Structure 1
Amino acid sequence: MRHRIIQPDGWAPAKGYANGVLTQDGTLYIGGQIGWDENQHFVSDTFEGQMEQALRNIARILDAAGGAPEDLVRLTWYVTSKKDYLANQRQIGEAYRRVLGRNFPAMTMVVVDALVEDAALIEIEATAVLATD
């Protein structure tokens, strides 16, 4: 098998996409995560609340693949409001460190007009490299 689909236990099934794909060389590609929980219900209507949940989702997928936040090498953030991001930088930094610690991979932020889920304010995709034995 060239790759393995990663789906954390107890999560509602992903429809038409994979939450994570782990390749034989240990590269973990994590599909865009938004601010909803394992039942696909939004936990917050605030930017920082959705951002923290998206990061928690990334951490859960990492864990399900046998990885940890230290394995992250890239995050790409898609946000619907640059203003919301800039207005909440302190809270965003605190939430980031609560979930991922002081691990700072290469990051890109892109401001977009909208996301597929109407209630989503942010979507974050990630790449990690896990040790292969």
Structure 2
Amino acid sequence: MTGADGGPARPTRVNPPQLSPPRGFSHAVVAEGGRLVFLAGQTALDAEGRLLPADLPTQFERALANLLTALAATGGTPADLARVTVYTTDVAAYRACAGELGRVWRRLAGRDYPAMAVVGVVRLWDEEALVELDGVAVLP
């Protein structure tokens, strides 16, 4: 499938004016005619499987980098992300760091925001992890 410009099709972001203006996410993402890539949850683990002992923004940056590394290994780019779910053990801290987390997102993934949700959890698989990201991408 090709996009309107003749290039490969990418997910289309939809943000209806009847909904509050989205900041750092899209209300809906339409994906047609591509390959689905399901990305496993990523925390701030290094290549040896050790958790980066750090604050929430630093762990978020590593978890996002890990998610994007997995996506790149499939041939995808951040623009191909259709859905990302963020799990955090501290929603209040996440909200307090939202500006910084947004800057990290834009630096690593750009401004093609997927549909997103932030979910508060009691704990993650890695007990010291503060945040985990998983996602779905649609590749042309």
TM-score w.r.t. the length of structure 1 is: 0.77
Which residue of structure 1 aligns with residue 57 of structure 2?
Answer: 48
Q: Name the stretch that deviates more: 32-41 or 112-121.
A: 32-41
Matched residue SS, 2:41 = strand
Which residue of structure 2 aligns with residue 70 of structure 1?
Answer: 79
1:107 pairs with 2:116: yes
Aligned equivalents of 2:46, 2:79: Cα separation in 1: 23
Q: 1:45, 1:119 within 8 Å by CA — same for their partners in 2? A: no
Which residue of structure 2 aligns with residue 124 of structure 1?
Answer: 133
Deviation digits for residues 111-130 of structure 1 (CA, Å, limit 9, x no counterpart): 00111111100111000001
Deviation digits for residues 59-113 of structure 1 (CA, Å, limit 9, x no counterpart): 1111110110000000011100011101111111111111101120000111001
1:42 Cα shift?
2.3
Aligned equivalents of 2:78, 2:49: Cα separation in 1: 22
- Runs of 4+ in structure 1 deviating by more than 4 angstroms, as ranges, are none
Which residue of structure 2 aligns with residue 36 of structure 1?
Answer: 45
Matched residues, percent identical? 36
Aligned equivalents of 2:94, 2:67: Cα separation in 1: 19
Aligned equivalents of 1:109, 1:83: Cα separation in 2: 11
Which residue of structure 2 aligns with residue 88 of structure 1?
Answer: 97
Q: 2:53, 2:128 within 8 Å by CA — same for their partners in 1? A: no
Which residue of structure 1 aligns with residue 18 of structure 2?
Answer: none
- Runs of 5+ unmatched residues, structure 1: 1-24
Which residue of structure 1 aligns with residue 69 of structure 2?
Answer: 60
Aligned equivalents of 2:47, 2:68: Cα separation in 1: 13
Aligned equivalents of 2:53, 2:84: Cα separation in 1: 21
Q: 1:35, 1:50 within 8 Å by CA — same for their partners in 2? A: yes
